Amino acid sequence: MISYVTVGADDIARAKRFYSAFLPALGYGLKEGPEGLSYALPVEPGQSPVLPDFYVKPTFDGAPATAGNGAMTAFEARSQAQVRDLHAAALAAGGSDEGQPGFRPSYGPHFYVSYLRDPQGNKIALFSSDLNEPGRDG
């Protein structure tokens, strides 16, 4: 299952105008912050999130956004161990490393993630956010 999709944008205000022209009509709510725009479907109390979320962000490397730079597809793993195993398997299968498995200070305390590029250069994230596993602070 795809969990979220990220696209890069050089002009967040312009991107907000564009995406806000139709995503709210599809039921997506917007949260805006210094890291960009986060669109998500509403979640009723006690219900699981409806996926995927859609994010519009400046590129992480600071280079201009393109169809590929800033675009990323994320896949949810069952555990931190599976993130590590799948990251290693993807490297062995011809991928390149964009970020070793681990916690990132800018994400939640249970968001364990690794980043890769496929042989064509597309960015892929593998993550686990299992609250039953140790978090960044513990």
- Residue 30 is predicted with a pLDDT of 98
Q: How far is Cα 3 from Cα 75, in angstroms, rounded to an integer? A: 6
Burial class (CB in 10 A: 0-12, 13-18, 19+), 45: exposed
CATH fold, domain 2-128, is: 2,3-Dihydroxybiphenyl 1,2-Dioxygenase; domain 1 (3.10.180)
Report residue 95 as tokens. Answer: 């991928």
List the one residue out of 6, 135, 3 whose CA is nearest residue 69.
6
Condensed to tens digits (0 to 9), the pLDDT of residues 69-124 reads 888 999 999 999 999 999 999 999 999 999 999 999 889 999 999 999 998 888 99
Mapped onto helix, strand or coil, the DSSP state of residue 26 is helix
Return the pLDDT at 77. 93
Domain boundaries, the chain: 2-128
Q: Which CA distances in Å does 16 have to 25, 66, 85, 112? A: 14, 17, 37, 28
* Cα distance between residue 35 and residue 12, in whole Å: 10
Q: Taking 80 as the threshold, does the pLDDT of residue 67 lie above it?
A: no
Strand partners, 57: 8
